[in-house]
Amino acid sequence: MTNGGGTTEADKARQLEHLLNVPVQEQQVVLSHTPMAALARHLHNVPVLVVGRGDVARVATTYGFRRVLTTAQLAAALPGALPFGVRLHPETGEVPCHVVVSMHVHVHV
């Protein structure tokens, strides 16, 4: 179990195998976002905003979410939704996580 995220359980299992030199199965890995996989069964066609580091959009689509929105997409669609003075991350183009937590925006996609 790890509080890490931004990668799939399969990718993390491979990484742990390499680091620990022991077999690790995908089913043995629980990441911070693993519980969200169960929600995809009910919310697969509902727009979801994914926040975090790494390839969070790929993780969400792997779980079965079909209408994934990243913070960079939100910022591009609604620049006024960004708090004054917030800058996108220079490498990922995403809104910093601490900013998204404080945002209250209703988006209809």
| DSSP single-letter state for residue 1 | -
Q: What is the pTM of this model?
A: 0.70
**What residue ranges do the domains of the chain occupy?**
9-102
Note the maximum CA span of the chain: 49
Tokens matching residue 83: 């708090």
Task: Please write the tens of the pLDDT for every residue from 54-106.
Answer: 888 999 999 999 999 888 788 778 777 666 556 666 666 666 654 444 444 44
Of residues 80 and 31, which shows the higher confidence score?
31
Closest CA to 59 of 13, 6, 3: 6
Antiparallel, parallel or unpaired: β 48-50 and 68-70: parallel
Task: Please write the tens of the pLDDT for every residue from 11-21.
Answer: 999 999 999 99
Amino acid of residue 30: V
Phi/psi at 57 (5° precision): -65, -40
Which band of pLDDT confidence, cut at 50, 70 and 90, is reported for residue 1?
A: low
Which band of pLDDT confidence, cut at 50, 70 and 90, is reported for residue 50?
A: confident
Of residues 51 and 85, which shows the higher confidence score?
51
Angstrom distance (rounded) from CA 68 to CA 51: 10
